[in-house]
Amino acid sequence: MLEKFLKYLLIFILISLLLAVIGFYYVKNYLQETITTPPTVFIPKGSTKSAMKALQKSGIDIGDFDYHLVKLIGYPQAGQIDLGETSMSRSEFFVRITKSKGAVKTITLIPGETKELFFEQLAKKLDMNSTKLADAYTKAAPYPDGVMIAETYNIPAGMDEKGLMGYLVKHSLEEHQKISQNFLNTYDEKEWFEKYITMASIITKEAGNVGEMPLVSAVIHNRLKKGMPLQMDGTLNYKFQSHQKVTPKMIKEDSSKFNTYKHAGLPPHPICSVTNEAIEAALKPADVNYLYFVRSKKGEHAFTHSYKIHLQNIKKSNK
């Protein structure tokens, strides 16, 4: 009886070993098969099974069996994944979707840039439509400009215009709220944008460097307190006029609320993107009584509280 049992056990072990060898070589050959993929793939958040189903629906030749093989390696990364190639072995594909970092593109919003020109740059760099970007921004942002913080962003590849604007506006609004809470212990969106960010946008346009920002801020605060018009050229560099030189003709003909030569007080909303330094300057102006400043040939400004001295500074700057 024992001899018969041992005989069957030996047969079972041999068959198991044979099946294991066959299975090993089958899986090995299967993993070495070449599959074709897009250069980047989008993997939604969720379980490994749902991720594999999404990849299968995108046209990649994978099946239910692959789900178990991937689980032996790890978990698929969520987001737009840069595969680097379009033809690879099945095993290499599994490694890349579990180990590769999400594909991103870097964009920089320059301090002082208006959203109109920024959208033109985005459209060229990301192959998007500037009109669609503008429409998406209008729906997502509470103010026509100044909402997006001037900084460098890492954008997940594969976003459309609506997704990109939603991402930029959401991130920036969170940053605005954080800064406001830090300095003011509160966040009033209307006051924040119509007062402080509008000031910060003017400061960004007018200051020659970061060090001058608190001084320019002081001039703005002092003039507003005295009921004096700001009379600052930078407020006319709004929308597509971002880089235009402000001339006497431009000042005379522009009847918008951004013309601070004609209208007292601040413009109705920010005119451009701002940095944290400009925001801090708007919140914490220098403790000086300056009311005037003029740019010198070196690019810096001469500040004074005296109109007489200001006229002298203008003469010096024109020599």
Cα–Cα dist 187/310, whole Å: 37
CB 148 within 8 A of CB 136: no
Confidence of residue 306 (pLDDT cuts 50, 70, 90): very high
Say if residue 237 is exposed, middle or buried (CB neighbours under 10 Å; 0-12, 13-18, 19+).
Answer: buried
7-11, 80-84, 124-128: range with lowest mean pLDDT: 7-11
How many CA within 13 A on the CB side of residue 254?
Answer: 21
Closest among 159, 178, 191 to 269, alpha carbons compared? 191
Q: Which pLDDT does position 134 carry in this prediction?
A: 96
**How high does pLDDT run on average in the chain?**
87
The pLDDT of residue 300 is above 90: no
Closest among 190, 216, 198, 213 to 292, alpha carbons compared? 216
Residue recorded with tokens 């987001």: 79
**Radius of gyration (Cα) for the chain, nearest Å?**
31
Confidence of residue 43 (pLDDT cuts 50, 70, 90): confident
Q: Which pLDDT does position 242 carry in this prediction?
A: 92
Dihedral of alpha carbons 142, 79, 119, 278, sign: positive
Q: Which pLDDT does position 39 carry in this prediction?
A: 78
Q: What is the mean pLDDT of residues 238-248?
A: 92
